[in-house]
Amino acid sequence: MVQKIALEEHFLSPGLVDYWKPTVTEVPPAFAEHLYKRLTDFGDLRLEAMDKAGIVRSVLSISGPGVQAERDPVVATKKAREANDFLAVEIQKRPDSYSGFAHIAVQDAQGAADEIERCMRDLKFAGAMINGHTNGLYLDDPSLAPFWERAEALGAIVYIHPTDPLVPAPVLNGVPALRRATWEWGFETGSHALRLVFSGLFDRYPKAKVALGHMGETLPYLLSRFDSRAKLYGVKLAKEPSQYIKDNIVVTVSGVYAREPLMCAVDALGRDRVMFAADYPFEDVMEAGHFMDDVSIPEDLRADVAYNNAARLLKL
């Protein structure tokens, strides 16, 4: 069993439960309770799951949407800070097992910049996770310049986690099984990341680093398409879109446990840009662990994806 660092591992803090509850209204109540019990546990349940899957460190992050759903900037900033302080206490109890991604309220860009710096420097977090758009505000918005300036200066990875689109995609009407995690979240989150590329954000902040789960939300598969269409539409960037994706975006395997997409991501982005994640407790942690242990790849690549890349990129 190879040692693993897992990067998309969720929890809930007391002040953010009410934002989470609407996301599980369509699942059986018993399963919602199962999730809640594991999201609020930092002891035996989580540690046992980690041990069985060979996960030696989990980087913990708020289960969405968190404060991305809050409309009052003052409330959002306060609750994000409280969530980060709550997580810091739990990490201090088990520093050899847990690290953290900061929860960030981008409703106040200057406050977001200050909070990511506090979390990185004082709480020793590994970066930040933002749960998609914030009431329709995407991360390429020019108002967020103070946040990106600070994140770039800190070398902080900003993990964009899926969320529901602002308006449910009409193409999926009548086929509810395609909503959310099956397909809707993927193109919502992939589109969010592409906004950063095509808006020129990485020209303005060339050292900014973004992470995407689910093997890159289909982006590695379409690099040449992005380049050819950018030429067709006269997109003015310093580099081709594919180069920003290779230079500024890293991905995790969360929820995509198959060799073909793994090798696509490795070949498209580079072997140093792909990392392990189990998406606990929403995915089967044992399936994730067995995939990483058993997938037919060279052993040095397995070690890099499972552990080494995250240890290096997140300074763990």
Tell me the average pLDDT across 117-130. Answer: 98
Instruction: Say yes or no to pLDDT of 223 above 90.
Output: yes
- What pLDDT score was predicted for residue 205? 98
Rounded distance between C-alpha atoms, residue 245 and residue 154, angstroms: 20
Q: What percent of the chain has pLDDT over 70?
A: 100
* Per-residue pLDDT at 231 exceeds 90: yes
State the pLDDT at residue 83. Answer: 98
Annotated domain spans of the chain: 4-313
Q: What is the pTM of this model?
A: 0.97
pLDDT digits (tens, 9 = 90+) for 99-115: 999 999 999 999 999 99
- If one counts every other C-beta atom within 10 angstroms of the C-beta of residue 195, the result is 15
Indicate which residues carry an active-site annotation. Answer: 279
Closest CA to 313 of 250, 257, 245, 235: 250
How distant is the alpha carbon of residue 21 from its chain centre?
A: 20
Which of 209, 212, 287 is closest to 252 using CA atoms? 212
Measured in degrees and rounded to the nearest 5, phi and psi for residue 171 equal: -60, -20
278-293 pLDDT per residue, tens: 999 999 999 999 999 9
Among candidates 5, 4, 1, 9, which has minimal Cα distance to 283?
A: 9
Each residue's pLDDT tens digit, 154-170: 999 999 999 999 999 99
Whole-number Cα distances in Å, 6 to 197, 234, 253, 280, 284: 26, 39, 10, 9, 13
Higher per-residue confidence, 26 vs 222: 222
**How far does Cα 260 stand from its chain's mean position?**
21
What would the two tokens of residue 228 be? 């050819």
On the question of pLDDT at 233 being above 90, the answer is yes
**What is the predicted pLDDT for the residue at 27?**
85
Average pLDDT, the chain: 97
pLDDT band for position 252 (50/70/90)? very high
pLDDT in tens, 64-73: 999 999 999 9
Q: Is 256:214 a contact under the CB 8 Å cutoff? A: yes
Q: What is the pLDDT of residues 257-275, one digit of tens each?
A: 999 999 999 999 999 999 9
Q: What digits encode the pLDDT tens for the residues 7-55?
A: 999 999 999 999 999 999 888 999 999 999 999 999 999 999 999 999 9
Report pLDDT for 235. Answer: 97
CA dist 42 to 13, 14, 58, 92, 297, Å?
Answer: 11, 13, 11, 11, 33
> How confident is the model at residue 72, as a pLDDT?
98
pLDDT at 125: 98
| Interval 180-208 mean pLDDT | 97
Does residue 292 contact residue 284 with C-beta atoms inside 8 Å? no
- Mark out the alpha helices in 102-235 (DSSP H runs): 109-121, 145-154, 184-198, 201-204, 214-217, 223-232
**Tell me: domain 4-313, CATH 3.20.20.140, correct?**
yes
